[in-house]
Amino acid sequence: MFYFAVLLAAGAALAVLLPREPISLAGWGAFKDSVRLASPATKLLVFGIYMMISCTFLPLNTSWITAAVAMEQYAVTGELWTTVLAVSVVGAAASTMANLNDYHVFTLLLRHHRVARVRHLRMYKSAIRWFERAPFALTFIFNLLPIPVDVARMLAATHRYSRLLFAAANFLGRFIRYGVIAYVTYRLADKGYVAVIVLLALAFVMALGRLAMGVTRRTRNRTTQ
């Protein structure tokens, strides 16, 4: 209920602000200029609402809008570090609320005996053993990296992982992820393809880091056995 209350409040605030904004639909150029002149509150509300509705059941892409509100000419504040901070905090908070709502929905679904049968599957038992080794780290990594399917989120719900720690891992991962996107976009947006290449390279490097951590852990476990 809290999730829907916050979403409704954000929508109501946006409905109040939009009539006061110089949003123009008279051509693409006029629209871009009006978006550039929109207030920081309006930009952040649109951004936050989009992030809150992006969830497992509505898997919207979050990278493009993060970059959109961080482009220098359209940035939330018009200054690098305040823009990065605002985008990181609002994006991380909104995404964390969406993920907590997913957690709640998964928990409710598991109360149905047919859905609860998943806990008896061999694949699930293997996955949950993997998750139990480092639940906070895995939840953090799945939020840090732009992975289409967040398996850790589902496993956290089925494992009844602490919601407080779940929220903390979500917020931290998304804060860093959106902060990196906002910073790179603000600094390199005028170079177009360069920004895209850098973002892809960052995702690739982080994925390699995750793989290296897994290999190192398995090697260490083998040597200690």
Residue-wise pLDDT for 136-195, tens only, equals 998 998 898 877 667 888 888 888 899 999 999 999 999 999 998 899 888 876 654 555
- pLDDT at 216 exceeding the cut of 60: no
Which residues, in sequence order, are CB contacts of 138 under 8 Å at separation 6+? 130, 131, 152, 155
Residue-wise pLDDT for 41-61, tens only, equals 888 998 999 999 998 888 888
Phi, psi of 112 (to 5 degrees): -80, 130
Residue-wise pLDDT for 70-118, tens only, equals 887 778 887 899 999 999 999 999 999 999 999 998 888 767 666 566 6
Residue from 34, 39, 80, 28 nearest 189 by CA? 80
pLDDT band at 2 (very low <50, low <70, confident <90, very high): confident
What was the pLDDT predicted at 170?
96
DSSP 159-179: TT--HHHHHHHHHHHHHHHHH
Give per-residue burial for 123-152: e unless 16+ CB within 10 Å, then b: eeeebeeebeeebbebbbbbbbbbeeebeb
What was the pLDDT predicted at 214?
56
What was the pLDDT predicted at 29?
63
What was the pLDDT predicted at 223?
45
Higher pLDDT, 145 or 213: 145
What was the pLDDT predicted at 91?
96
